[in-house]
Amino acid sequence: MPRKLAAGNWKMNGTRDSLTEISALFDAAGGAAEVLICPPATLIQAAASAAQGVMIGAQDCHTEDKGAHTGDLSAPMLKDAGASHIITGHSERRADHGETDAVVRAKTEAVWAAGLVAILCIGETLEEREAGKTLDVLAEQMAGSVPDGVTGDQLVIAYEPVWAIGTGKVPNTDQIAEVHEFMRKKLTDRFGQAVADDVRLLYGGSVKASNAAEIFAVADVDGALVGGASLKAADFGPIVKALNASA
Ligand code: PEP
């Protein structure tokens, strides 16, 4: 399994015209790192048919496989459309939809039950960081939202400080290193060294071509989850190339 992963989260952006941005990643995507784009669900099927060398994922799923849940999509449905990965617990869903750690855990279990990879997001707010509570918050989120039975091929964890998402603000490399080392240790304590070493840890929050190489050089950073800079191949391609160069 390739160790490095460059994942793009398009959020609520993109129509069929945008699919050319995925095909334009072809050159950058031929390296050592895996490349994943999570477009809006409306584009998953078309993107998965068109994508060469780029995996396609979803941004959320329901906890159940099917039923009376108007407007929701289940993990098996997203798999059927062509998704290989599903993001769970993104801070925008935690904030906009009141998703608790228990909900995120159930969604992650649903992703695994469908045979897909979960990219589970955790991260502190600025208020929590300034109060010196970052590691406590992350420990609580990991304890509450990471299910039992983790394997390295089913779980990716993305550390996304809420204050860094879409703001242009990025923690310094010491802060990123501290958190990633902490996450690896928490996984080791709970699941053992071998599993902890296999789980990939991504950094997310205002990653750009200009800061990617510096972030990818940090120990325990296995790639990035990228929002705004994943929308255009001209922006995301250089990030993928920086990850390839670090692999
Ligand atoms: C995200 O929302 O997952 C994200 C990292 O966004 P951005 O790269 O735009 O900060």
Can you tell me which atom of ligand 1 is nearest the CA of 165?
Answer: 10
Contacts of 166 (CB under 8 A, 6+ apart): 206, 227, 228
Catalytic residues: 90, 160
pLDDT band at 50 (very low <50, low <70, confident <90, very high): confident
For the segment 74-93, the average pLDDT, to the nearest whole number, is 98
Which residue minimizes the CA distance to atom 4 of ligand 1? 227
Which residue minimizes the CA distance to atom 7 of ligand 1? 227
> What is the C-alpha to C-alpha distance for residues 80 and 84, in angstroms, rounded to an integer?
10
Q: What is this structure's pTM?
A: 0.97
The CATH number given to whatever domain includes residue 229 is 3.20.20.70
For residues 50 and 218, which has the higher predicted lDDT (pLDDT)?
A: 218
> What is the C-alpha to C-alpha distance for residues 221 and 181, in angstroms, rounded to an integer?
9
Number of domain units in the chain: 1
pLDDT, residue 176, reads 98
pLDDT at 83 over 90: yes
pLDDT band at 1 (very low <50, low <70, confident <90, very high): low
Mean pLDDT over the full length of the chain: 96
Q: What digits encode the pLDDT tens for the residues 3-49?
A: 899 999 999 999 999 999 999 998 888 889 999 999 999 999 999 99
User: Parallel, antiparallel, or unpaired: how do β-strands 200-204 and 117-122 relate?
Assistant: unpaired
**Cα 33 to ligand 1 centroid, rounded to whole Å:** 19
pLDDT, residue 2, reads 61
User: 199: domain range?
Assistant: 5-246
Indicate whether residue 206 lines ligand 1 (CB < 6 A).
yes
